[in-house]
Amino acid sequence: MTRLVSGSATDVGLVRANNQDQLLVTDDDLFAVADGMGGHAAGEVASLTAVEALAKAFQAATDREPGSLLAAAREANRAVWERAGQNPAFYGMGTTLVAMARVHSHLVGAAAAKDATGSATLAGNPGSRSEGVDKLAVVHVGDSRVYRFRDGQLQQLTVDHSVVQELIDDGQIDEQEAAIHPRRHVLTRALGVDPDVDVDLIEVDPVVGDRFLLCSDGLCREVSDEHLASLLGQTAHPFELADRLVTAAKEHGGSDNITVVVVDVVDTDVTAEATGSQSDGADGDIDLPDPAPLLLGTGQNEEPDTVQLPKLTGPPAPTPGANAAARRPKRARLVTPRVIGFLLLLVLVVGVAVAGIGWYARGSYFVGLRADRLTIFKGRPGGVLWFEPTVARRTTVTTSDVLSSRLQALRAGQPEPSVRAAEAYIHNLTAEATTARRVDNPSYQPLSSRGKTALGAPGRAGSQSAPLR
Ligand code: MN
């Protein structure tokens, strides 16, 4: 009988400001990668919405058939599409999706008959093809991919839904030209763009020793198939491999977010042995939970999760395809006191840095324009990182109440240390304008009594270069 052991990693890469990829690994063998697209935070929202909806729908399915995964992917599409319609900021967002799950195949006729006797023989012959047992279903939309590595051979199971793939299929360009084609990022299918979407479904018979790779284009665009094959051929736990794959993509440029899920098909008996060897003499190690805990996807996780917990998952896998019983699997010493100490320090350092940036970003005010009204904002003009300025005080003063020579500074945002200073600045602006108009036209009456000047002689105030304070 077979069991799936997985490892995963996601990384923002070296060029992008944020990670719009999302990965999903559940304890009941559902794996997914989504690569979101859309302005600002919309890409993150799209990919997170997709994997959450996928997990929810698949876990609610009464039976785990290939069709259940297909239906869950359609559900994910609808969830992203509906979310995009709820908020103008999310308009036009979308995401790719690849998902793989353990399912029960529909057994009909000869296949069912074979299964009736097949299970027993299989248990005594673990290295054989797993006919009659669970299958793997793969669904995909977009240009994220699923590969299978079997017997040293790498095979891409999915076919990209992209413009360049269509050109390749059409014989117009080859793989090399596709890699540099100006429209290489343009998808022909994505989740969330329409209320319904065509989802490709592939059924796979897993064999002990198979290694599957789900990835976003940030990996396969950077790393060649040959290099991928050599990495996947290495003897290592899927977690270790996931990290190595991400590192390879970054070494080749890391121009996009990189997300990988590596899934090994292992023998249940061998895995039990590996788990047993883990429980002895835990000198400070934390026992690794088994089976793998949910990384994301039942809806408990509402925030885009870029902090990875994968190292807590699963025992080390035996080497696929090798005689695993002959060698003792390497122990996973992943969570040691030193690691915990390092993580705490990291959290502290990041916390201090974020607080510092927040203090800088939010610790001051500026006077700017909102439509044609002068408005006091808290924050820095244009914002700092994710700290957007917010309205601190509205005023009734409009651009016609101040000198036109001041508008440029107002459009750019005039920094002030406090709300009070900002109010004084606005007051001075209106006073300056009132004085200037009185000088030009003695019959001019200001609309408000606040129009009295805070400046010196009218002649000086009338000069457009008059200092304000
Ligand atoms: Mn991407």
The model's pTM is 0.56
- The number of beta carbons lying within 10 Å of the beta carbon of residue 84 is 22
Listed ranges 19-33, 175-189, 411-425; the one with the highest mean pLDDT: 19-33
Instruction: Compute and round to an integer the Cα radius of gyration of the chain.
Output: 30
What local confidence, expressed as pLDDT, does residue 133 receive? Answer: 52
Asked if pLDDT for residue 120 goes beyond 60, the answer is no
Q: How many A from CA of 201 to the centre of ligand 1?
A: 21
- Report CA(67)–ligand 1 centroid distance (Å): 27
Q: How far is the CA of 144 from the centre of ligand 1 (A)?
A: 8
| pLDDT given for residue 339 in this prediction | 83
Tell me whether the omega of the peptide bond preceding residue 291 falls within 30 degrees of 0, making it cis: yes
- Cα-to-centroid distance, 360 and ligand 1 (Å): 32
Token pair 């502290």: residue? 348
Which range among 28-32, 194-198, 254-258, 414-418 shows the weakest confidence by mean pLDDT? Answer: 414-418
Cβ-contact 207, 99 below 8 angstroms: no
Question: Tens of pLDDT along 396-436?
Answer: 899 988 888 888 889 889 988 888 889 999 988 888 888 88
Span from the CA of 38 to the centroid of ligand 1 (angstroms): 11
* Residue 304, pLDDT above cutoff 90: no
DSSP string, 295-327: -S-SSS--S---S--GGGS-PPPPPTTS-GGGS
Q: Report how far ligand 1's centroid is from the alpha carbon of 86 (Å).
A: 24
Task: Give the distance (Å) from ligand 1 centre to CA of residue 51.
Answer: 16
Cα dihedral 279, 283, 286, 288 sign: negative
Segment among 24-28, 261-265, 266-270, 292-296 with least mean pLDDT: 292-296
Q: What is the C-alpha separation between 14 and 24, in angstroms, rounded?
A: 22
Instruction: Report, as an integer, the average pLDDT of 267-293.
Output: 45
pLDDT at 129 over 80: no
Q: Which of 330, 54, 98, 302 minimizes the C-alpha distance to 204?
A: 98
Average pLDDT score over residue span 67-79: 97
Q: How confident is the model at residue 359 (pLDDT cuts 50, 70, 90)?
A: confident
Q: Which range is least confidently modeled, 1-15, 63-77, 110-124, 227-241?
A: 110-124
pLDDT at 466 over 90: no
Q: Could you tell me the distance, in angstroms and rounded to a whole number, from the CA of residue 200 to the centre of ligand 1?
A: 19
Nearest C-alpha neighbor of 416 from the set 429, 402, 400, 404: 429
**pLDDT value at 456 more than 60:** no
Question: Which is more confident, 434 or 461?
Answer: 434
Distance 305 CA to ligand 1 centre (A): 17
What is the 41 CA–ligand 1 centroid distance (Å)? 15
